[in-house]
Chains A and B, each alone.
Chain A
């Protein structure tokens, strides 16, 4: 049917739009490189090599991508329920803290159990820190953007308090240097390495698993259906008898839990196998709580597409450091380009939807469910066009 074919080809064009947005941002980046006196081609080449050009580079990229993926999947779940979770930074930290506390105070257990235990602790820590703003929104109407921002601030102070005080390495106290870090955490909790030596641990696999589970949750379970229903139209959902408030809390809790898991992976996959702070959340998380939002967006708010998106963004972040080393341009440029990517992709949503909606859209039956991201993303604010029944 011509309708189907043009629907599919316009869908394809639709996917090109965010890609075009990214390309535009990168072009601007190249121009800025030139202005700064660096050779853009040299810069881009250095970036590519630094992110993908060797085993070491790929490892760095994948490891950088791992917390991004966790956060992105969490953001996706929350977003589908129309909740914006800006509290990723704080949730990562709380998850990391609880996981660290678990490692410090649980009795020694064999490695697989220990790892599962600390991961669960991370999930609980982040989950609680997500449930709190979720409950505040559901039961008190407090806008979640603001409560999560405030909780980020509380989280960093709490982390500093613990790492400079109760959780500090006793050796540091003894020696009087008081570096704000924990002792070397129990070895049984180390995330196993995949290739014997080096840095590549199983964290990325856990993240991919989380993404797959999130996909299944959102599109193959009644709970997921509820989450998406509440996200599209809370009135309709309530009319259908869905527990709206509990669903919002659930969305935020899941979102926070995934960030908490990222925090646990960061600690137990880290080089030092301790939790250490420089006084800021970004010093621990590398700004994953914010960058993960970018990744979620670029993944079309679909958990599976977040996987390649996180890989690319992890590469972009790693490339920034390589860029600095190669052409002496501060890695802050990459941060700015990141911002431009977000702005362009988000701004092009309207264009994308226009392109995709162009042929007859009412026809739901556009073939079997493809594992492609859903076309119209239900954005908080109700501009949703998508039919809840349509499979992604």
Chain B
């Protein structure tokens, strides 16, 4: 156990945890917008998968990692529009339609990969971007300020999202629509337009998250996300629909995963118990969900399609 508490191992663990958290954070932030306005999107996993493939394929062809992220964003945005049509205009049941998007994304990304790429080829990954001065701080510098551009972007998105939701008219509309769409409607807010906007934001961020994952790993594979999209949705609940809470959740999840992995590498967890240890992130999240649920209320209109009465 003492081997774990050496500087190099701790630094590596935190850096790894942050890396694992980034796709989760991005996707969960996007989902936060949607859920705050009353739309549950369970299709995040499918959006991430298609964004991951789009990003991967773009970098494979162009060697431009940021173009790959952009393509992922566009793919996610398009899927967001689709989700908007389904959930807002067609009043489709949000839980099930999300599963449809998931299955579609899983199948399409797999199909496209097999047909357009075939044998996996590695791609360029995000270059390391040291933040001047801050990255020279011993220990902390290595942990936090020697990451890549996408990591910084993801964490910068947190205060931006908080600001948008809490301090802009748009954010006020989002919250109103999520709590009491009828009242918002009577005040002249277009419920549909707000929800379309948030769902498109959600899709865009999910696409970026997927691209961040595949480009970060430098490879693509069938079902590369392995359930991450669903975890991201869970994290929104964990974070009580607040970006800062979502960030805490993503970091917690990523760090626990990184720790478990490090323990396995160092031999602290014997092989026989490694599967039990892998349960840790999920169990901790459930316990946290219990805690959150008893203290925070979900947006009142969540999952309810809005129908104007009269």
- What residues of A have a CB within 8 angstroms of the CB of B278 in the complex? 157
A86 touches B95 (CB 8 A): yes
Compute how far the CA of A84 lies from the CA of B281 in the bound complex, rounded to whole angstroms: 23
Interface size class of B (residues with CB under 8 A): 35 or more
Looking at the assembled complex, report how far the CB atom of A348 sits from the nearest CB atom of chain B, in whole angstroms: 7
Query: Is A105 an interface residue, CB under 8 A from the partner?
Result: no
Question: Which listed residue, B103, B273, B305, touches A336 by the CB 8 Å rule?
Answer: B103
Q: Mark B282-310, 1 if CB is under 8 A from A, else 0.
A: 11011001100110001000011101000
Query: Is B10 an interface residue, CB under 8 A from the partner?
Result: no
Compute how far the CA of A339 lies from the CA of B104 in the bound complex, rounded to whole angstroms: 4
Q: Which positions 311-337 of chain A face chain B at CB distance < 8 Å?
A: 330, 332-337
Question: Which listed residue, A140, A339, A341, touches B101 by the CB 8 Å rule?
Answer: A339
Compute how far the CA of A233 lies from the CA of B146 in the bound complex, rounded to whole angstroms: 53
Query: In this complex, what residue of A is CB-closest to B109?
Result: A332
- What residues of B have a CB within 8 angstroms of the CB of A151 in the complex? 282, 286
Question: Which listed residue, A158, A335, A343, touches B107 by the CB 8 Å rule?
Answer: A335
- What residues of B have a CB within 8 angstroms of the CB of A341 in the complex? 100
- What residues of A have a CB within 8 angstroms of the CB of B275 in the complex? 157-158, 160-161, 164-165
Q: How would you classify the secondary structure of chain A's contact residues: helix, strand, loop or mixed?
A: helix
Compute how far the CA of A380 lies from the CA of B108 in the bound complex, rounded to whole angstroms: 29
Looking at the assembled complex, report how far the CB atom of B309 sits from the nearest CB atom of chain A, in whole angstroms: 12
- What residues of B have a CB within 8 angstroms of the CB of A157 in the complex? 275-276, 278-279, 282
Looking at the assembled complex, report how far the CB atom of B273 sits from the nearest CB atom of chain A, in whole angstroms: 8
Among the stretches A52-60, A201-209, A267-275, A289-297, the one at the interface with B is: A289-297
- What residues of A have a CB within 8 angstroms of the CB of B111 in the complex? 330, 332-333, 335-336
Looking at the assembled complex, report how far the CB atom of B15 sits from the nearest CB atom of chain A, in whole angstroms: 24
Looking at the assembled complex, report how far the CB atom of A166 sits from the nearest CB atom of chain B, in whole angstroms: 9
With most chain B CB atoms within 10 A of its CB, the pick from A36, A153, A161, A351 is A153
Query: Is B237 an interface residue, CB under 8 A from the partner?
Result: yes
A161 touches B276 (CB 8 A): yes
Query: In this complex, what residue of A is CB-closest to B93?
Result: A379
Query: Is B248 an interface residue, CB under 8 A from the partner?
Result: no
With most chain B CB atoms within 10 A of its CB, the pick from A140, A332, A349, A380 is A332
Query: Is A142 an interface residue, CB under 8 A from the partner?
Result: yes
A339 touches B103 (CB 8 A): yes
- What residues of A have a CB within 8 angstroms of the CB of B289 in the complex? 136, 142-143, 146-147, 150
Query: Is A342 an interface residue, CB under 8 A from the partner?
Result: yes
Compute how far the CA of A140 lies from the CA of B293 in the bound complex, rounded to whole angstroms: 7
Q: How would you classify the secondary structure of chain B's contact residues: helix, strand, loop or mixed?
A: helix
Given A157-B278, A346-B93, A350-B90: A141 and B293 within 8 A (CB)? yes
A340 touches B104 (CB 8 A): yes
Given A149-B231, A383-B91: A334 and B97 within 8 A (CB)? no
Compute how far the CA of A154 lies from the CA of B272 in the bound complex, rounded to whole angstroms: 16
Query: Is B234 an interface residue, CB under 8 A from the partner?
Result: yes
Compute how far the CA of A297 lies from the CA of B100 in the bound complex, rounded to whole angstroms: 11
B108 touches A147 (CB 8 A): no
Compute how far the CA of A309 lies from the CA of B164 in the bound complex, rounded to whole angstroms: 45
Query: In this complex, what residue of B is CB-closest to A163?
Result: B275
Given A165-B272, A290-B99, A343-B97: A146 and B282 within 8 A (CB)? no
Looking at the assembled complex, report how far the CB atom of B306 sits from the nearest CB atom of chain A, in whole angstroms: 10
Q: Which positions 180-229 of chain B face chain A at CB distance < 8 Å?
A: 222, 227
A153 touches B227 (CB 8 A): yes
- What residues of A have a CB within 8 angstroms of the CB of B40 in the complex? 145
Q: Mark B73-93, 1 if CB is under 8 A from A, else 0.
A: 000000000100110001111
A149 touches B234 (CB 8 A): yes
- What residues of A have a CB within 8 angstroms of the CB of B304 in the complex? 381-383
- What residues of A have a CB within 8 angstroms of the CB of B86 in the complex? 343, 346-347
Q: Which positions 132-168 of chain B face chain A at CB distance < 8 Å?
A: none
Looking at the assembled complex, report how far the CB atom of A330 sits from the nearest CB atom of chain B, in whole angstroms: 5
Looking at the assembled complex, report how far the CB atom of A285 sits from the nearest CB atom of chain B, in whole angstroms: 14
Given A142-B290, A381-B305: A347 and B90 within 8 A (CB)? yes
Question: Which listed residue, B107, B231, B238, touches A339 by the CB 8 Å rule?
Answer: B107
- What residues of B have a CB within 8 angstroms of the CB of A333 in the complex? 107, 111
Looking at the assembled complex, report how far the CB atom of A341 sits from the nearest CB atom of chain B, in whole angstroms: 8
- What residues of B have a CB within 8 angstroms of the CB of A165 in the complex? 272, 275
- What residues of A have a CB within 8 angstroms of the CB of B231 in the complex? 149-150, 153
Compute how far the CA of A111 lies from the CA of B304 in the bound complex, rounded to whole angstroms: 50
Query: Is B33 an interface residue, CB under 8 A from the partner?
Result: no
Looking at the assembled complex, report how far the CB atom of A296 sits from the nearest CB atom of chain B, in whole angstroms: 9
- What residues of B have a CB within 8 angstroms of the CB of A153 in the complex? 227, 231, 279, 281-282
Looking at the assembled complex, report how far the CB atom of B33 sits from the nearest CB atom of chain A, in whole angstroms: 18
- What residues of A have a CB within 8 angstroms of the CB of B108 in the complex? 332, 336, 339
Query: Is A76 an interface residue, CB under 8 A from the partner?
Result: no
Looking at the assembled complex, report how far the CB atom of B89 sits from the nearest CB atom of chain A, in whole angstroms: 8
Query: Is B233 an interface residue, CB under 8 A from the partner?
Result: yes
Looking at the assembled complex, report how far the CB atom of B286 sits from the nearest CB atom of chain A, in whole angstroms: 5
Compute how far the CA of A341 lies from the CA of B290 in the bound complex, rounded to whole angstroms: 35
Compute how far the CA of A143 lies from the CA of B95 in the bound complex, rounded to whole angstroms: 12
Looking at the assembled complex, report how far the CB atom of A194 sits from the nearest CB atom of chain B, in whole angstroms: 31
A347 touches B107 (CB 8 A): no
Q: A interface vs B, CB < 8 Å?
A: 36, 84, 86, 136, 140-143, 145-147, 149-154, 157-158, 160-161, 164-165, 290-291, 293-294, 297, 330, 332-343, 346-351, 379-383
Beyond contacts A36-B115, A86-B95: 17 other A-B pairs, Cβ-Cβ < 8 A, are A136-B289, A136-B290, A142-B286, A145-B42, A150-B283, A150-B286, A164-B272, A294-B99, A332-B108, A335-B106, A336-B104, A340-B100, A346-B97, A349-B90, A349-B93, A383-B91, A383-B307
A-B contact pairs, 14 of them (CB 8 A): A145-B40, A145-B42, A149-B233, A150-B286, A153-B279, A154-B282, A158-B275, A161-B275, A335-B106, A336-B103, A380-B95, A380-B303, A381-B94, A381-B303
Ranked nearest first, the 9 interchain pairs of A and B with the lowest CB-CB distance are A339-B104, A335-B107, A342-B100, A336-B107, A339-B103, A332-B110, A161-B275, A343-B100, A153-B282
